[in-house]
Amino acid sequence: MILAEPGPDLSDIVVLGVNHKTAAVELREKLAFSAEETEAALKLFQKAPSIREAMILSTCNRVEVLLVTKNKSLAIDTISSFITEKKAIAPAHLKPCVYVHSGSQAILHVFRVAASLDSMMIGEPQILGQLKEAFKTAVTLKSTGLILNRLLHKAFSTAKRVRTETGIGGHAVSISYAAVELAKKIFDTLDGKTILLIGAGEMAELAVEHLIRSTASMNLLVANRTFSVGVALAGRFRGRAIHLEEIPETLKTADIIISSTGSPAYVISKDQVKPAMRSRKHRPLFFIDIAVPRDIDPDINRIPNAYVYDIDDLQGAIRENIENRNAESIKAERIVEESVIKFTEWYQSLDVVPTIIDLREKLGAILTAELAKTFQALPLLTETDRQAFERMAESVIKKALHDPARFLKNPGAHRNKAVYLDFTRKLFHLDP
């Protein structure tokens, strides 16, 4: 009769969540967890008898709970009930939007999320930082353990490989990001440059976020029709707000103007730029117009050393870059699949660990006893001699266990691992 306990079940690893593909933004907003809600939820999950480990990832595009369970179906019910109750959402409304992955599919999902292969914009870098922050929170609250710690560290290293071994993150696929990438190409570096942002909507905010990640120091100016809104955006990013009336004067000192107001008329005309260029002594001035309809008079292109790029110029680059990213994502998927296999092999080896530890302790006890006899028989040994014997004993244990441990971890697909574990325990009398 085989007495060895069954090893860890891969299906104990579970991901439950919604994302931009399954749920509208209104539902995602309702489901989002604040920092305080995340802390309270993780503390509650720690007390749930069906849950071993847990962490929560909550972003604007996804809300996911990662679990290692003791009872998978009960754990899923526990999480689902908690969310519907705390977020006041009818189960019938939530259920069609929720996905549940377990086992290798859950591992694959976590690695794809970390590598930005499951993002709205494939290759965007923000998700990895968000995942690291979510993991840090869970670790601080001690709601993760051996499995999630290993899973997330493997996810981070997988994402790093994808980033360094493929070009998936090197191509702009949003208008705001493309605008900033263009600005970087124009000047090589944006450090120390004066950038005037006209408009304070979502596109402008995204552009600023990309700018902040691209430069350690820049002079940011924000002009908006509602001055207080411009002040708020500028304040968030250590910039300065100016009134729209100040734009003509600012053209004399700015290096790049990014405009996204959507005004029905041009915000900057050719007649405003001409005198500014004279004051600049014809130092180049770049306009990046990401508004529809356009904010910048295209005739400005006729002025020497003044350059206007509009949304059509950016769209062409974006289409090409999307194709490039899709090609690179094939390479990235291969890297992710390799990582899933390696993590799965590690996970399935966990059932061997207690036997190897017990075997090591038994061999260690035998060698310790024999060393004690040897030291007693050789009283003239120095402390250095004794330490040399102890190091030799440790080396013998390591080498003696190396091949058996490797075999027990992977005896071959055609062999029953439990049989070999049970035989090993009986052979060496590891059980009382």
Active site residues: 60
Angle at 416 between CA 413 and CA 421, to 5 degrees: 125
Contact 393, 372 (CB under 8 A): no
* CA dihedral of residues 331, 336, 340, 341 (deg, nearest 10): 20
Which residue stretches of 119-267 are H helix?
126-140, 146-165, 175-187, 202-214, 227-236, 247-250
Angle at 214 between CA 211 and CA 216, to 5 degrees: 100
Phi then psi dihedrals of residue 221, to 5 deg: -120, 140
Report the alpha-carbon distance of residue 316 to residue 168 in Å, rounded: 18
Would you say the C-alpha torsion 359, 365, 371, 373 has a positive or negative sign?
negative
Orientation angle between helical segments 202-214 and 175-187, nearest 10 degrees: 40
Q: Which residues touch 270 (CB under 8 Å, ≥6 apart)?
A: 297, 299, 300, 302, 303
From first CA to last CA, the distance across the chain in angstroms is 16
Report the alpha-carbon distance of residue 135 to residue 338 in Å, rounded: 22
